[in-house]
Structure formats: C-alpha cells, structure tokens
Amino acid sequence: MSESHERTFVMVKPDAFQRGLVGEIVGRLEDRGLKLVAMKLLTPTQEQGEAHYAEHEDKGFYDDLVEFITSGPAVPMVVEGEDAISVVRDMIGATDPKEAAPGTIRGDYALDIGRNCVHAADSPESAEREIDIYFDEDEKTDYEADFEGWVYE
C-alpha cells in the first residue's frame, strides 16, 4: 500500500437512509474506484453518537447532532483508496448543501445543513477515531480488488 493509500470513515446518515439513497451513495463511492472494506446497517447508540460528535461537545448544536445521528438507521462504512479522505470529502461537498457544488452528494441530494445526507472523516485522525467507534478490527476486510489495476497506475 502506498503512503497516499488510506482508509476513511463514511456514514450514510438517517435522512439519506429514510430517503432510499444508500445505494446511490455507495454506488458513487464504488464508481469512483474506492474499495469498501467494512459496512453495516445500524441505529447508532447514544454512546456512539456522543463519541462521533465529541469534538462539538461544547457547541450549542451538539445535542441536536447526537439526537439526529441516533434517530434511526444509518450505514457506517470504511472505504479505502489513494487519498481517500480528500477524495471522499470532495465527493460529498460542502457541509451546508446550499454551498455544495452540483455533482457532489450534498449538492445533488440535500437542501438543509441539518439533513445533509452523509458524513465523512476530515483527517486521518478523525477517520481512525470514527472507524473505531463503529467497527471492531475483525469487521474490516483486507483484500485485493481485481479492479485496482484499472484504477491506479
């Protein structure tokens, strides 16, 4: 694995799950050439929600974030690829969907910052922390995807 080959955390949030967008979002990640190494369907627990948004604990919107992320089914996943963190962040678009470019997930599927469809880690440290909130080590799969030679030189 090259130095720029990394894993990141992505979650289809409860709003996108309820709207039937899981397949579309996962499909976009796969179409781009990112490799799924872990994925599950769950309703985040209070503990997971609090840990997920721990960096915002002292902000006025923290309780709303936790309440929303724990409000229903979500799909956390781990994806892998060259510069996966920045690639995924670019794919999902600006946090506020009104500022997200058309063609991004949020730009195409969201209108409200509180219902912006998807979360993605913003740094290697966040990715590692968020992956550990939702996945045990044995839930992540290492494998060589047959398509990788057609995605990377």
Each residue's pLDDT tens digit, 96-112: 999 999 999 999 999 99
Return the pLDDT at 1. Answer: 55
Tell me phi and psi for residue 50, to 5 degrees: -65, -40
Return the pLDDT at 152. Answer: 77
How is residue 134 written in tokens? 């939702």
Angstrom distances, CA of residue 91 to CA of 67, 71, 96, 144: 26, 25, 14, 23
CATH number, span 5-136: 3.30.70.141
pLDDT of 112-139, one tens digit each?
999 999 999 999 999 999 999 999 999 9
> Please, which residues have CB within 8 angstroms of residue 55's CB and are 6 or more apart in sequence?
none
Q: Indicate which residues carry an active-site annotation.
A: 119
Pairing type for strands 118-120 and 35-39 reads unpaired
What distance in Å separates the CA atoms of residue 8 and residue 124, rounded to the nearest whole number?
7
